[in-house]
Amino acid sequence: MDKLKPSLVRQLFVLLVIIFLGFLIFKEIVPFLSGILGAITLFVILKNGMRKLENLGWKKPLAAAVLMLASFIGILVPVVLIIIMLYSKIGKFIANSEKVVAAVKDQADNLQDYLGFNISNSIDSTAITGWLSTNLQSLAGGTFTAIIAIGIMYFMLYYMLINRDKMNLILRTYIPLNDENIELIEKESDLSVKSNALGIPLVAIFQGVIALIGFLIFGVPDPFFWFAITAIGSMVPFIGSALGIVPVTLLLLSMGQNWQAIAILVYGIVVVGSTDNIVRLYILEKLASVHPLITLFGVIVGVPLFGFIGLIFGPLLISLFLLILKIYKKEYGNDYDNL
């Protein structure tokens, strides 16, 4: 019987120690993972601006501080305001969810004469209310846990910006890949981050603005709240703007504003739907395309893990995972083919 070589035993022992320690570190860092991903995302977005400011003669600490302040005002402040608004409105909605479901059942009763069967009997208001309460509260509640990670995010971002070259050298030293694959990681991760962190939110905001115009025209109550809901829905494949348009239509029907309800439904399908396709095509010409399944599974993974910002970080996490698999196949695929 062949004995294991001492060098192989030592290698396996070191690998086991690395895996064990890596697992412990990852387990404890999961609550702050959104901060780490946020730092990486902002670094990719801001690093070109940092380079330009340095070329203009700015000191690194000052340039990093200005860019971080700009990101805080331009990104975090609007996101926090939207979260606060959603949290307040979601609380009120949950408190009155039974009334909303009852109003929907009343409208279903009015439609039964046209459809020939009773819809309202199939609507379980208690089950719907419980589902809405559980999922909406978890979405809003998970959001505020991410605030803790903001400090970590900016702490990391500051040192990533002022130590760009040193960080690149460290990564090349510790990542067990050849230079070609490390460059591929840098290139594709930049495209992935920009597509997920810029492309998806830009499409969502534009579609939300188009929907907001319709909400204002047809007198929808709380139009800015429904703007936020529509924008969030736009980030989720196969759901899209329907997350905002359909509830608004039902809300107007429950208020007796039948023609406004029909008008906003047609507006949502024709105007909001068509502009969504146009904007996506235009933005995806500038940025890399994100497959809808990546976005869908990213939302499924990201929202429970990160809360509201999981709509962005979830797809980013899936994209980075697929990138690592691609690198692994490129690095070691030939070894398996030769077995």
Q: Which domain holds residue 94?
A: 33-174
207 in the same domain as 266: yes
- Give CA–CA dist 266/253, Å, rounded: 14
d(CA 62, CA 36): 22
Of 34-38, 269-273, 328-332, the one with minimum mean pLDDT is 328-332
CA distance 233 to 241: 5
Q: Are residues 156 and 181 in the same domain?
A: no
Give the pLDDT score at 335.
Answer: 52
- What percentage of the chain reaches a pLDDT higher than 70? 72
122-150 average pLDDT score: 56
> Is the same domain home to 127 and 221?
no
Mean pLDDT of the chain: 75
pLDDT at 1 over 50: no
pLDDT of residue 172: 74
Higher pLDDT, 178 or 92: 178
pLDDT of 170: 76
Per-residue confidence band for 152, with pLDDT thresholds at 50, 70 and 90:
confident
Choose the most confident range, by mean pLDDT, from 2-11, 105-114, 156-165: 156-165
Decide if 212 contacts 179 (C-beta within 8 A). no
218/86: higher pLDDT: 218
Region 18-38: what's the mean pLDDT? 81
**pLDDT tens, 91-129?**
666 555 555 556 555 655 555 555 555 544 555 555 555
Cα–Cα nearest to 267, from 245, 252, 251? 245
Per-residue pLDDT band at 258 (split at 50, 70, 90): confident
In a domain, 6, yes or no: no
- Range from 60-74, 140-154, 244-258 carrying the lowest mean pLDDT: 140-154
Query: What integer is the mean pLDDT of 136-147?
Result: 54
Q: Which of 153, 174, 195 is the last residue of a domain?
A: 174
- Number of helices (H) and strands (E), helices first, in the chain? 16, 0
Task: Report whether pLDDT(323) > 70.
Answer: yes
Tell the burial category of 9 from Cβ atoms under 10 Å away from its Cβ (0-12, 13-18, 19+): exposed
Residue 135 forms part of a structural domain: yes
Q: Is residue 294 part of a domain?
A: yes
pLDDT reading at 286 higher than 80: no
Residues 42, 156 share a domain: yes
Number of domains in the chain: 2
Please give the model's pTM, rounded to 2 decimal places: 0.67
